[in-house]
Amino acid sequence: MAEERRPAFVVVGKNERKVDGVALVTGKPKFAGDLDLPGTLCVKILHSPHAHARIVEIDASEAEGLPGVACVLTHQNTPLTRYTTAGQGYPEPSPYDARMFDTKVRFVGDRVAAVAAETEEIALEALKKIRVRYEELPAILSVDGALAAGAPIIHDEKDSPGIYDAAKNIAADVDIDVGDVAQGFAESDVIVETVCETQYAQHAPIEPHVVLTNLDEDGRLVIRSSTQVPFHVRRIVARVLDVPLHRIRVIKPRIGGGFGVKQEVLLEDLAALVTLRTGRPALVVLSRQEEFIASRTRHPMRIRVKLGARSDGALHALEMEVLSNTGAYGTHALTVLSNVGSKTLPIYNKAKNVHFFGKAVYTNLPVAGAYRGYGATQGYFALETAMDELADGLGMDPLKLRRRNAIRVGESSPIFEKLGEGREGVAQTVKSCGLERAIELGAARIGWEEKRGKRPRQGSRVRGVGMSIHMQGSGIPQIDMAAATVKMNEDGSFNLLIGATDLGTGSDTILAQIAAEILGVPVSKVIVTSSDTDVTPFDTGAYASSTTYVSGKAVERAALAVREQIVQVAAAMLADDGGNLDEARFVLKNERAVAPNGRGVTLAEICQRAMYQTGQFQIAATASFVPDESPPPFMASFAEVEVDTETGRVQVLEYVAAVDCGVAINPKMAEGQVEGSVANGIGFALTEEMLFSSKGRVRNPTLFDYKILGARDVPPIEVILVPSFEPTGPVGAKSVGEIGINGPIPTIANAIHDAVGIRLTKTPFTPERVLDALRARRPG
Amino acid sequence: MGLPSVKEFVRPGTLDEALELLRERGERAWPIGGGIDLVLFAPREVETVVDLGRLPLRYVRENEGRISIGAIATLREVLESPVVRDYLGGVIPEMLHQVASPLLRNLATIGGTLVSANPWSDVITLFLALGADVVLSDGKTRTIPLEKLYPARALRATILTEVRLPSSARESAAAFWKFSRTAFDVALLNCATFVRMVGGRCVEARVVAGGTPQLGARLPRAEACLVGSGLDDSSIERAAEAARESADVREDRRASADYRRELVLVGVKRSLHEARGRLAGGER
Amino acid sequence: MKISLTVNGAQRAFDVHPGDTLLEVLRREGYKGVKKGCGAGDCGACAVLLDGRAVNSCLVLAGKADGSEVLTIEGLSKDGALHPLQEAFLDEGAVQCGYCTPGMIIASLDLLTHHPDPNEEEIREGIAGNLCRCTGYTKELRAIQAAAEKMREARHG
């Protein structure tokens, strides 16, 4: 078993407090919006009132003349460079279809102009004084509309590279084949087919997007941003504003949640340009309403899954067709689309014949982007719904069907190689997989055997249980890169400098735990500095479940290199007392380096010697890591629900997520990642949905009417961390940031089916939709 | 930012002072209890905020079974008041536990809630069913049934000072039912029912549905099905059916009219069953 | 207009615009632990104790707080010692991004001050107005339970 390889850890596996925790619970000014810089201008954005229109004329003179207005930005006075707001590796796999300000607006909320003024009141007043004449164009408000013959073309400009087929409103297209799926279905005994649709949903981080810019004493541009991708921000802003990259410093302070919506260069260009034009600090903060209308959303999708199986339950053919709505711009269009298949299909690697294809299309609706789960969430809804239907068709326990077909240690899937992030993937063999055990533990915890199919009824309320299984990845192989620097101080403490971006996940802490483990010190002796492009080495950023695995590995390597230097010095110090010491057999523990003969010196003594006494040098190392694979975390999730057949209300009574993320470096934090993503997923399943008017305007751009779950709504969530050891991971770990969010939609849908026999194929499962489905089925 | 148009914030200590200010400043003055709606809706014409928070109207009292709640009492204070704890089986705290959040209940006043007349108001739906009266003052004091306060006419230079609930007669019961998307949410529909029995026969009934999405309103046809009945299953069923047919339900972004119609049926039925159970349980 | 507040035990006088909210005044005066998440009473990130009760400071006009006592998250730890709620939030892993944490702790403090021994349902209701997008609330519930226990012990000596 994999666990046997697991070494005894001292710091890893402990529930260390967050290294930034005390500052956070005492309300220290740690966030981008907490810094007061004298003379800061307030920046406000004028958003398009139309879903699709050309700007015929724009007159900002009156606004510019308003006392207190420092500058007004429009397409007339800003760079026209095409770029993508997607904060991805370079070159980005998203089309360059956006400009700071364009001559055309493509959704209600699109940028028309921006004002920088002395106060918020003046800025808002000035926005009203900008005269814009629009030529309204027919708007596309659905994916079918986008693909219809003669549909208006949303990106009719000629200078946007990377769009798959602009004339047909197709931002991205994917089509991959394994085996022969037609033949596969022909050879199948049971075939099921299902079509599932997911909604427009918003990340709703409690901290909105915030960017504060200023010029430092040397005239360099400093951008403090609530971003998940500081290095991508630097690169993209440099290009868009044509500023030398070395004149820009990006700092990510603490950020109040991201979930993907801050993997986007959404405001940095605006604040930066204001600062460059005026020489003054500039602050942009999105209002909650702007978060809904003008930031990013999850890609709504329609997904068709067709499964063919032999009568013994062996999956034989698997087809998945995706129609993804990327909204007005193609940010993450291709990669999210790819992930719908690449993060779902390998879990059923026994199917020899697979066809995955789909399109991401433009519409005149808000822009979809990265969102925790990144397409897998949508894909699993369809796949795991179809698996339940297949189990029905086979007359087989859904749990057994999944067990029979799920991937195991030592196995691979052709999908890994065929389908990557917007390009071909990387072949890999699964080296750790606790899925089987996760299914077993989760089933026991929810009471699967006792409860499944029993449909206990109390009055109008009926109960049921459902389950589904999932995988995600750990970073993007051969694309992501992270680097870390470890530097020793003469009291035996270490600076850990990492480009990695802690967006509240606790990555600063678990990366410190990795370093502390290897260096034999408590976490308190590791001083973490992260996400400052002037100070920390490069890291692609916090997305794609990359930080624990990719950044963690970089930290592990840097710490091991420093450990080697420490041991060399220690060996020299102890060798002075006679005898040769085998450096490979030194142990670092309790802030000491201990030789094989049991004698030791303190780390402080070692560093003092290296700094001040003999053979002086700085004990330090920088290491990088580019993964060759992306070991998937696995999850089996279970829910018990109660359906009120009179109101259609679905209540989740209990949710169980059994997760294999390799070694959990900080178990409470790993649980927290799962609990939080499950809670968000339950929101998708039951309440969260952006609604649109017939003109494409968001009807519920508030937390008053876009319902995320509160403490009274979230059911007890039981997270079971299934032990495993990932040999390629840092200290045996895999990533765990996203996987949890994939579970609730199919798990709850399957539980509803168990309770009342209806198949819900459109999220969210609002009481009204559930009641409609119950009524449609009757009499029956 | 807040309310840029506001030029003056005043906190009168007496009712007369407050009324005087409202008269003087006219439409540019806005009286507040907690002030929530003023901040949320930020009407541009408001120049003077008249904070009623210092008026001696912060109380929950009982007098011979009748309950008087001062307009400035917060929802939290009402919720925690021993005076309302057992009133009609505890229906008031039962409802208030479902209103908004503790943070908002600490701020919202009972008077502000009644005057703001948000259509989803749980308080108004229940208080209509309980037959509440409100005391208004424009210098002279008058008491009117809460029902007569709506449709909410602008209360020019008038302050709602108190709400009164009738003494809970023997053999009477009330219940409240709310349906919302999440627990911290406004009602997609709420329902409250009140019944008074004499010798096993219902002699008085009030059935109210709110958030339809209009403000709570009585449903006389449903009430008629109950009066004279023994509150048996079939009369409850008939009342619920009548409620469904007669409630003026509409569509908004939160629910369709058809769905609300179903909710009226379920809500009336469930709250009547609950009320009947409370009668049987021997509660007042 | 001038208002006078006792903020975290210190008497302070502030010059405010009569239309300012308490949230704006507090942040302007440096109490950055008071967060803005929605400005509409929907999220609870701006919660402070106003005369002992937790409220959404984004909905309180500053004039209304004149003469009142305000407690923000900055005033909770005394002489560098964390409050049991702060300790418990750290120990139970109830803090992720930390943006909702100040408001969540303030709401919990109101709850535990008035209900020293709440059950789970009461705790859930107590923080019902404080939205958290990171945690799923599980760890907060445990933290508040743990803090309640510590606070009861401290009270009974």
The answer to whether residues B30 and B67 belong to one domain is no
Distance in angstroms (rounded) separating the CA atoms of residues A262 and A73: 23
Residues B82 and B138 placed together within one structural domain of the fold: yes
**pLDDT greater than 70 at residue B284:** no
Mutate to test the interface with A, among B44, B259, B268, B271 (most CBs of A within 10 A): B259
Q: Are A515 and A462 in contact (CB under 8 A)?
A: no
CB atoms inside a 10 Å sphere around CB C104:
33
Instruction: Look at residue B154 and tell me whether its pLDDT is greater than 80.
Output: no
| B2 in a structural domain | no
Residue B202 lies in a domain: yes
- Contact B182/A712, CB-based, under 8 Å? yes
**Mean of the pLDDT values across residues A178-193?**
98
Record: contact C59-B40, CB cut-off 8 A: yes
The residue count of chain C comes to 157
Query: Is A34 an 8 Å CB contact of chain C?
Result: yes
| Claim to verify: residue B152 and residue B194 sit in the same structural domain | no
B154, B187: one domain: no
Whether B176 is in a domain gets the answer yes
8 Å CB contact of C54 and B4: no
B33, B111 Cβ separation under 8 angstroms: yes
Higher pLDDT, A597 or A524: A524
Task: Say what angle helices B257-280 and B233-246 make with each other, to 10 degrees.
Answer: 150
Candidate from C63, C114, C128 with C-beta closest to B51 = C63
In the three-class reduction of DSSP (H, G, I as helix; E, B as strand; rest coil), residue A554 is classed as helix
Q: How far apart are the first and last CA of chain C?
A: 45
How many Å lie between the alpha carbon of B75 and the closest alpha carbon of chain C?
12
Are B181 and B258 contained in the same domain? yes
Which parts of A72-179 fold into alpha helices (H)?
120-128, 143-147
The pLDDT assigned to A423 comes to 84
Cβ–Cβ of B32/C17 closer than 8 Å? no
**How are the residues of chain C apportioned to helix, strand and coil, as percentages rounded to the nearest 5?**
40, 15, 40
In a domain, B39, yes or no: yes
Alpha-carbon dihedral angle through residues A403, A409, A411, A414, given to the nearest 10 degrees: 80
Alpha-carbon span C140 to A60, nearest angstrom:
49
Sheet architecture: strand order including B29-32: B8-10, B48-51, B29-32
Is the pLDDT confidence value at A580 over 80?
no
Distance CA A483, CA A743 (A): 32
Per-residue HEC secondary structure of A685-734 comes to HHCCCCCECCCCCECCCCCCCCCCCCCCCCCCEEEEECCCCCCCCHHHEC
For residue B242, what are its two tokens?
């009548």
pLDDT of residue A1: 42
Residue in C closest to A701 by C-alpha: C38
Q: Which CATH class is domain A36-137+203-294?
A: alpha beta
Touching B: which chains, 3+ CB pairs < 8 A?
Answer: A, C
- What number is the average pLDDT over the span A122-147? 98
CA distance A563 to chain B (A): 52
B40 touches chain A (CB under 8 A): no
Report strand pairing: A53-59 vs A282-285: unpaired
Confidence of residue B56 (pLDDT cuts 50, 70, 90): very high
The shortest C-alpha distance from B15 to chain A (Å) reads 34
| Contacts for A441 with CB less than 8 Å, ≥ 6 apart | A636, A658, A720, A722
Q: Do A2-29+481-625 and A302-472+631-777 fold alike per CATH?
A: yes
Nearest CA of chain A to the CA of C33: how many Å?
4
Token readout for A579 is 């005898």
Q: How many other CB atoms sit within 10 Å of the CB of residue A777?
A: 12
Facing C127 at nearest CB: one of A30, A505, A711: A711
Q: Rg of the Cα trace of chain C?
A: 15
Same domain, B222 and B159: no
Residues in B touching A771 (Cβ below 8 Å): 259, 262
| Closest Cβ–Cβ partner in B49, B106, B183 for C53 | B106
Task: Using pLDDT thresholds of 50, 70 and 90, give the confidence band for residue B153.
Answer: low
In a domain, B129, yes or no: yes
Q: Residue A509 above 70 pLDDT?
A: yes
Radius of gyration of chain A (CA): 27
Interface test with B, best of C17, C115, C131 (most B CBs within 10 A): C17
Lookup: tokens for B229: 């009945």
- Domain end residue (candidates: B165, B199, B215): B165
Per-domain residue ranges of chain A: 2-29+481-625, 36-137+203-294, 302-472+631-777
Query: Is the Cβ pair B39, C53 closer than 8 Å?
Result: no
CB-CB contact of B279 with B231 (8 Å)? yes
Whether residue B181 and residue A687 make contact (CB cut-off 8 A), yes or no, is yes
Verify that B18 and B37 share a domain, yes or no: yes
Taking only the tens place, the pLDDT of each residue in A330-385 is: 999 999 999 999 999 999 999 999 999 999 999 999 999 999 999 999 999 999 99
**Cα B169 to Cα B192: distance, rounded to the nearest angstrom:** 17
Range of the domain at B232: 172-280
* Sequence-distant (≥ 6) Cβ neighbours of residue C152 within 8 angstroms: C116, C117
Q: Amino acid letter at A368? A: A
Cis peptide bond N-terminal to B213, omega within 30:
yes
Closest-CA residue to A501 (of A227, A772, A278, A205) = A227
Under DSSP, is residue C41 helix (H, G, I), strand (E, B) or coil?
coil
Which residue, A257, A761, A223, is CA-closest to A533? A223
Give the H/E segment covering residue C110: helix C101-114
- The CATH architecture that domain A2-29+481-625 belongs to is 2-Layer Sandwich (3.30)
Q: pLDDT digit string (tens) for A442-454?
A: 999 999 999 999 9
Given CB atoms, is A662 within the 8 Å cutoff of chain C?
no
| Domain end (from B165, B199, B214) | B165
Residue B25 belongs to domain with CATH number: 3.30.43.10
Confidence of residue C157 (pLDDT cuts 50, 70, 90): low
Residues of C in contact with B39 (CB under 8 A): 21, 58-61
Restricting to C residues 25-84, those with a Cβ less than 8 Å away from any Cβ of A are 30-40, 42-43, 45, 72-74, 76-77, 82
- Please identify, among B165, B185, B209, the residue that sits at the C-terminal boundary of a domain: B165
Domain holding B81: CATH number?
Answer: 3.30.465.10
Q: In whole numbers, what is the pLDDT of chain B averaged over residues?
A: 95
> In this complex, do B38 and C61 lie within 8 Å of one another by their Cβ atoms?
yes
- Which residues of chain A does C42 touch, with a Cβ-Cβ cutoff of 8 Å? 288, 702-704
Q: A623-657: per-residue pLDDT in tens?
A: 999 999 999 999 999 999 999 999 999 999 999 99
Residue A779 has pLDDT above 70, yes or no: no
pLDDT value for C80 = 83
A302-472+631-777: CATH topology is Aldehyde Oxidoreductase; domain 4 (3.30.365)
Distance between CA atoms of residues C96 and A257, nearest Å: 8
Q: Which residues of C touch B99 (CB under 8 A)?
A: none
In Å, how far is A28's CA from the nearest CA of chain C?
Answer: 6
* Nearest-CA distance C42 → chain A (Å): 6
Domains of chain C (ranges plus CATH)?
2-74 (3.10.20.30), 84-156 (1.10.150.120)
Task: Give chain B's domain count.
Answer: 3
Ranges of H-type helices in A469-551: 507-519
Task: Report pLDDT digits (tens) over A262-274.
Answer: 999 999 999 999 9
Mean of pLDDT values over C69-77: 97
Looking at residue A64, its amino acid is: E
Q: Does A201 touch chain C (CB under 8 A)?
A: no
- Mean pLDDT for A220-247 is 98
Q: Which of A593, A532, A537 is nearest to A562 (CA)?
A: A593
Minimal CA separation from C5 to chain B, in Å: 16
pLDDT above 70 for C58: yes
Query: Which residue, among B93, B92, B111, has the nearest Cα to B53 in the 3D structure?
Result: B111
Residue A424 token pair = 């071909």
